[in-house]
Homo-oligomer: A and B are copies of this chain.
């Protein structure tokens, strides 16, 4: 029932103080339950009532400016690039971090290079940065962050990032595991699907490298094949499948695998007789494919473990031990 002005005046703690008839400091003591300072019950309730009436909400920016640190945890990640698996993990992580008083925030952004990305993140002065695509985090980029006062930088990455606390997330082990399996099944001419979609190259390239590493230590060969996530692209690939002459394929992903599986069936190529197919992520839908899809499941540290470790890193500066990613092969009938 108030006026409805074009620019609503923001409510500050000074307004609360005025209404309650006390100083701004007292308001702060009451609202933060500052233990070092006692305040009488009558004034306390007057302040609380005033805050309630005005709908006062503290200004996070001002607060962290004064405190010299924020409770923001920044996670740079494009939403769509993160797979199903990871997205649930992130949701749980958010709850766990809240337990420690942090606010988890996702920020997707396309940047020309790691340093300018880091600069953009640094502007927000988060308490910590959790980089999923940690391999795009260079040493200088980490430098920018710590120069800006970011306490903890954790990176899921395949190689150690200087200055950051690295959690093993070696994508090449995924490709390696898949190809080891295919080789053990007697396959020798192995294709690796490379998705054309933007943002996926960060994951796809090391997986290919891992595959190639295994092939080099055996008699098998590895051939990369490009694929977009559309029916047309899959049909086109299946159309020239026989001339590729492959007897096994690691398809980057269960989703790309399913797409390929279908296109191959349309083309009359039979799985696993003509070609064995392995995906990744072990999605619920993968077991439903025709034939059920062999996949690589990725075991991550639990969100609770990770949140505790992150808190310790930010709070005490200690370098906590966190179990890395562990790829596990789930064998089904497609291989």
Given contacts A80-B87, A290-B290, contact A148 B10 (CB under 8 A): yes
A55 is an interface residue with CB less than 8 A from chain B? yes
- Check B84–A147 contact: CB distance below 8 A: no
Contact of A259 among B6, B79, B123, B284 (CB under 8 A): B284
Alpha-carbon gap, A53 to B296, bound state (A): 46
> Per-position contact with B for A62-99: 1 when CB-CB < 8 Å, else 0?
10110000100000001110101001101100110010
- Check A60–B124 contact: CB distance below 8 A: yes
- Shortest CB-to-CB span from A202 to chain B, Å, is 15
- Shortest CB-to-CB span from A73 to chain B, Å, is 11
Q: Point out the residues of chain B lying under 8 angstroms from A60, CB to CB.
A: 61, 123-125
- Check B231–A287 contact: CB distance below 8 A: yes
Q: Point out the residues of chain B lying under 8 angstroms from A230, CB to CB.
A: 284
A14 is an interface residue with CB less than 8 A from chain B? no
Interface set, chain A 7-46, CB cutoff 8 A to B: 8, 10-11
- Check B317–A6 contact: CB distance below 8 A: yes
Of all chain B residues, which has the CB nearest A119?
A: B57
A interface bracket (residues with beta carbon within 8 Å of B): 35 or more
- Check A144–B57 contact: CB distance below 8 A: yes
Contact of A79 among B57, B64, B87, B119 (CB under 8 A): B87
A122 is an interface residue with CB less than 8 A from chain B? yes
- Check A105–B103 contact: CB distance below 8 A: no
A288 is an interface residue with CB less than 8 A from chain B? yes
Q: Point out the residues of chain B lying under 8 angstroms from A108, CB to CB.
A: 90-91, 94, 104, 106
26 contacts between A and B (CB under 8 A): A8-B149, A10-B147, A10-B148, A10-B149, A54-B147, A57-B119, A57-B122, A57-B123, A57-B144, A59-B123, A61-B70, A61-B124, A79-B79, A79-B90, A103-B120, A104-B107, A105-B107, A106-B108, A229-B284, A230-B284, A231-B287, A258-B288, A259-B285, A261-B288, A285-B285, A290-B290
